[in-house]
Structure 1
């Protein structure tokens, strides 16, 4: 015989006799959590049923076998003990049942004995009626839970007491009954496994359909962005670049402002192309393209100044934050400057980025605006919502409120748990300027 087969059989025997149990199934009473009174009533009825079976078994052992009360009750409890744990601990329930099957024949009277015990005579079966019922239930339930190698040993070990204690005329019939129970239980197990595999496959199919739907929607959004937004941004850039040549005697400040508009439009187009690449890609791998960070804040502020804003930048960061924190800080400052330009035209804006305990503090504050807001300034924008989402996604805090001087302030704290180098580079920019 192949040694591999022998080792597998011995491993299955160890699992059957002393190995770990199989995972339990969900109890029917667990579905009644929203109805605690009903669950409590059913538990009480189940406990009373077990006590009733134990009482009937003990009375049978006292009347038919003349056992002492303590011995009768021990065998009765051993008989019904597998039932309450059958669903949660199937192997343990079978092991207890096997012990009861071996010792449940204690002091049994043979059918051909002339000894009369009480009002009865000898027993035709080695076990009490309750124990026969428990054996049948346990074998059927366990066969539906264990794998076939363990099931083969369960069947073999369960048949040993049959061939020892059952009368020769009934041994074959009882053995066939046990085998049929085990086969039916295994068929039930195979059916359950097939249904579970089919359900998992259906779930995977639904997930794949959902993924494809998301990709199709992303592609549609990317197409719309390219056809509409990118087209208009390109037109803005071209018109801003050609306007000074189409107008006569353009002042230098206006020429610089046109150049700033063109630069901003080209930067927006670059970000738009990067976003379109992400939307069109099916890969879930992180993007490796460089993202803006704290080092890009001076250029952002310079672009805002060229657009006519009075911006002061105060950045004092002793340790380099992680990439997500740097990107969030940059985007928050960018959106804060855009909000100040839309809602408080002509106001002075101060951007402060500093280290705080365990993170990075970002503040964008503007004074009261001297120029009325444009017609679209109070539209349903998502700037504050986006900044809050960025901060919360990193576990930080976000606050936006008016100031006492009539301006507005945005305060964000971005925690950073990323490891830092021993000698981090120092970014220290203090710039004060006016347009």
Structure 2
């Protein structure tokens, strides 16, 4: 026999006899902890049921076995004790049950007693009806909780009293009954483990899906910001190349302008490479310029043509920096899309305010709209994308229901976005 198999068998024997138990992930009544009265009633009923089983078992032992009162009560308590331990300490419950299997046959009436005292005193089973019930429940529960190495030993130990005390004519039937109970419990355990693994895998898949959606949204934002930054870098390169011809500068200044132009062109080349990495292989290049706040009226008009009731209140007179204008446009665009999905038919108000140093954007829909068909909804990352845009510019973002059962999206975008905290490559 393989040494690993022998080692596993011995490890299972050690745990069966004196090893740690298999505690439950949560107690049976944990689901009802918010209903203390129900928990108290169930505990009282359980205690009364256990007390009733003890009384029935003790009465059986006193009437049938003619045991002393103290002995009958000890065996009765030993018989019922495994039941309250099963949910949290199944292996300990089985150990107590096994001791009851050995001592629960004390003073049992055999065939010899039946000859002397009469056939009515003969017991076909070595255990009381209550003990038989406890043995069945404990075997199934333990088989559903322990691993197979421990299960093999508990089954072997549980069959030993059967071969010792059960009449020869019934030994095979009882052995088969115990084996079937152990197999049923093991199948229940395997089914539970499979369902738990599937649930954990589904949870991991959902987390991966959400994480992938966030990364895709960040990539899309980065691609859009690339166009804005590339435009400014192009202006820097052109102005640096033409400045020596437009201005009367010295030779060192001319060299400095040439260095600036070369750095700008190198940065443009690196950004194009970055864009190729960010863009998926199947995505076509986007050559259209990114939208600005000046295109908001056209966006609102398109929403109205689609059947939405939209009011635009825009008092911004000066065009903000390109990243801020692009973020504000996308926030309004996604806010209108969310209102169309989740509150179809509700009135929507878009408000833009040019405060000192801050551009305030608010998209609010009134109550009374009807949710769209869930199949028509997007991936649920619209709010995440808006929040990513705002935080990337150093602003603040909130989205929550309003007092009149509507919904509002508020974003504060700094008019002058802070520079990145990351050091430039090649500098110290």
- Residues 218 and 280 of structure 1 are in contact (CA less than 8 Å); yes or no, is this contact kept in structure 2? no
3-state SS of 1:84 partner = helix
1:209-263 per-position Cα deviation (integer Å, ceiling 9, x unaligned): 2232222212111101101x3034325635775897798899xxxx9xxx9xx99
- Residues 64 and 120 of structure 1 are in contact (CA less than 8 Å); yes or no, is this contact kept in structure 2? no
Distance in 2 separating the partners of 1:120 and 1:26: 47
Distance in 1 separating the partners of 2:96 and 2:18: 12
Distance in 2 separating the partners of 1:102 and 1:11: 24
- Residues 61 and 72 of structure 2 are in contact (CA less than 8 Å); yes or no, is this contact kept in structure 1? yes
Aligned position for 1:421: none
- What TM-score does the superposition give when structure 2 sets the normalisation length? 0.57
Distance in 2 separating the partners of 1:16 and 1:280: 57
Q: Measured at CA, do residues 45 and 239 of structure 1 come closer, stay the same or move farther in structure 2, by a change above 3 Å?
A: same
Equivalent residues in 2 for 1:240-255, closer than 5 Å: 241=240
Equivalent residues in 2 for 1:318-357, closer than 5 Å: none
Matched, 1:164 2:144: no
Distance in 2 separating the partners of 1:246 and 1:377: 37
Aligned position for 1:317: none
Q: Measured at CA, do residues 38 and 181 of structure 1 come closer, stay the same or move farther in structure 2, by a change above 3 Å?
A: same
- Residues 144 and 185 of structure 1 are in contact (CA less than 8 Å); yes or no, is this contact kept in structure 2? yes
Aligned position for 1:77: 77
Offset at residue 53 of structure 1 (A)? 0.6
Matched, 1:377 2:357: yes
Offset at residue 388 of structure 1 (A)? 10
Offset at residue 180 of structure 1 (A)? 0.6
Distance in 1 separating the partners of 2:208 and 2:248: 61
Aligned position for 1:233: 232
Aligned position for 2:38: 38
Equivalent residues in 2 for 1:20-419, closer than 5 Å: 20-114=20-114, 116=117, 121-227=121-227, 229-234=228-233, 237=236, 241=240, 280=278, 377-380=357-360, 386=394
Offset at residue 380 of structure 1 (A)? 3.1
Kindly indicate which of the two structures has a greater share of residues assigned to helix.
2
Aligned position for 1:5: 5
Distance in 2 separating the partners of 1:9 and 1:375: 76
Distance in 2 separating the partners of 1:91 and 1:84: 12
Offset at residue 49 of structure 1 (A)? 0.7
1:144-191 per-position Cα deviation (integer Å, ceiling 9, x unaligned): 111222111111110110111111111111111001111111111122
1:75-111 per-position Cα deviation (integer Å, ceiling 9, x unaligned): 1111111111112111111111000000001111125
Offset at residue 35 of structure 1 (A)? 0.8
Unaligned runs of 5+ in 2: 280-353, 362-389, 398-428
- Residues 28 and 87 of structure 2 are in contact (CA less than 8 Å); yes or no, is this contact kept in structure 1? no
Distance in 1 separating the partners of 2:117 and 2:25: 46
Offset at residue 199 of structure 1 (A)? 2.3
Offset at residue 386 of structure 1 (A)? 4.7
1:384-415 per-position Cα deviation (integer Å, ceiling 9, x unaligned): x95999xxxxxxxxxxxxxxxxxxxxxxxxxx
Offset at residue 34 of structure 1 (A)? 1.3
3-state SS of 2:121 partner = coil
Aligned position for 1:292: none
3-state SS of 2:26 partner = coil
Distance in 2 separating the partners of 1:386 and 1:47: 62
Aligned position for 2:15: 15
3-state SS of 2:221 partner = helix
3-state SS of 2:163 partner = helix
3-state SS of 1:20 partner = coil
Aligned position for 2:315: none
Offset at residue 17 of structure 1 (A)? 0.9
Distance in 2 separating the partners of 1:38 and 1:168: 48
Unaligned runs of 5+ in 1: 282-373, 390-435
Offset at residue 129 of structure 1 (A)? 0.5
- Residues 21 and 89 of structure 2 are in contact (CA less than 8 Å); yes or no, is this contact kept in structure 1? yes
Distance in 1 separating the partners of 2:71 and 2:109: 16
3-state SS of 2:22 partner = coil
- Residues 111 and 124 of structure 1 are in contact (CA less than 8 Å); yes or no, is this contact kept in structure 2? no
- Residues 21 and 90 of structure 1 are in contact (CA less than 8 Å); yes or no, is this contact kept in structure 2? yes
Offset at residue 65 of structure 1 (A)? 1.4
* RMSD, aligned α-carbons: 3.8
